[in-house]
Amino acid sequence: MRQVLEAGLPALGLDTAAIPALERFAEMLLQRNRVMNLTAITEPRDVAALHLLDSLALISLAGLEDGSAVDVGTGAGFPGLPLAIVRPRLQVTLLDSLGKRVGFLREVCETLGVTNAECVQGRAEEFAAERREVYDWAVSRAVAALPVLCELCLPLVRVGGCFLAMKSSHTEAEIEQAGGAVRILGGRIAWIRDYTIPTTEVVHRVVCVEKVAGTPKKYPRRFAQMKKTPL
């Protein structure tokens, strides 16, 4: 794990000072994963690359120095918790509908002394009533197809902010299908970038949707409706 992080962080333009905290997070994840379903990735070096470095690749693409970010469907904390660890001036909301996962994240934040992350149990489509158009960034990985994901995430982003969707590299059709949703919800695809996760040959993709106008009040709809009739 350490070797992967020692090689991978500088490759992303990041300092290695965060390694002890990242390692501790990974240890807690693997330990808790024995009794709770948190991740299918169980080799420490794979956790380092496919979870930690993959999450941190967002920084090399988008900076995320400061401001506020919400990680929608964070699960075991990806990508939001590694971002909070290496970006102490970024205020991160880790949002997930599953209470057990959020409870685990609270424990990790407390153990590591991470004070710039807030762990919230809730559904994104309901959370939008509370935190509508306030975040500089929304980020999300492996939660839903892009048209639905845009409806979950874009209402949370302020005009001028961005939603960063982490996707696999074979998503041309999905991105095309999301064109209508992006427009209706007040977004514009600003850029799409592929990256190779350092120390691996795995190529992933980030779609950056800039918020250029307010999201109409009737969105987000209920989740069942989003799934049944995606925008």
CA–CA distance, 137 with 134 (Å, rounded to integer): 9
What is the per-residue binding string for ligand SAM in 36-55, x denoting contact by CB under 6 A?
--------------------
Q: Whose CB is nearest to ligand SAM?
A: 75
Q: Which span (29-37, 56-64, 94-102, 196-204) binds ligand SAM, by CB under 6 A?
A: 94-102
With 0-12 CB in 10 A as exposed, 13-18 as middle and 19+ as buried, what is 116? Answer: middle
124 versus 231: smaller Cβ distance to ligand SAM: 124
74 versus 171: smaller Cβ distance to ligand SAM: 74
Ordered alpha helix ranges (H), the chain: 2-11, 19-33, 44-46, 54-62, 80-86, 99-112, 124-130, 146-153, 172-177, 179-184, 223-228
- CA torsion 85→87→89→91, rounded to 10°? -60
Determine the straight-line distance between the first and last CA of the chain, rounded to whole angstroms: 42
ω into 79 cis (within 30 of 0): yes
Asked if 154 touches ligand SAM (CB under 6 A), the answer is no
Q: Which span (83-91, 104-112, 139-147, 204-212) binds ligand SAM, by CB under 6 A?
A: 139-147
Asked if 213 touches ligand SAM (CB under 6 A), the answer is no
Q: Exactly one of 18, 59, 152, 157 binds ligand SAM (CB under 6 A); which one?
A: 152
Asked if 167 touches ligand SAM (CB under 6 A), the answer is no
With 0-12 CB in 10 A as exposed, 13-18 as middle and 19+ as buried, what is 167? Answer: buried
Q: Exactly one of 2, 123, 132, 158 binds ligand SAM (CB under 6 A); which one?
A: 123
- Residue 102's alpha-carbon distances to 11, 45, 70, 131, 178, in angstroms, are 30, 24, 14, 18, 29
Smallest distance, Å, CB 164 to ligand SAM? 12
Asked if 225 touches ligand SAM (CB under 6 A), the answer is no
Smallest distance, Å, CB 34 to ligand SAM? 17
Asked if 142 touches ligand SAM (CB under 6 A), the answer is yes
Q: Which residues lie near ligand SAM (CB under 6 A)? A: 72-76, 78, 95-98, 101, 123-125, 141-143, 152, 223
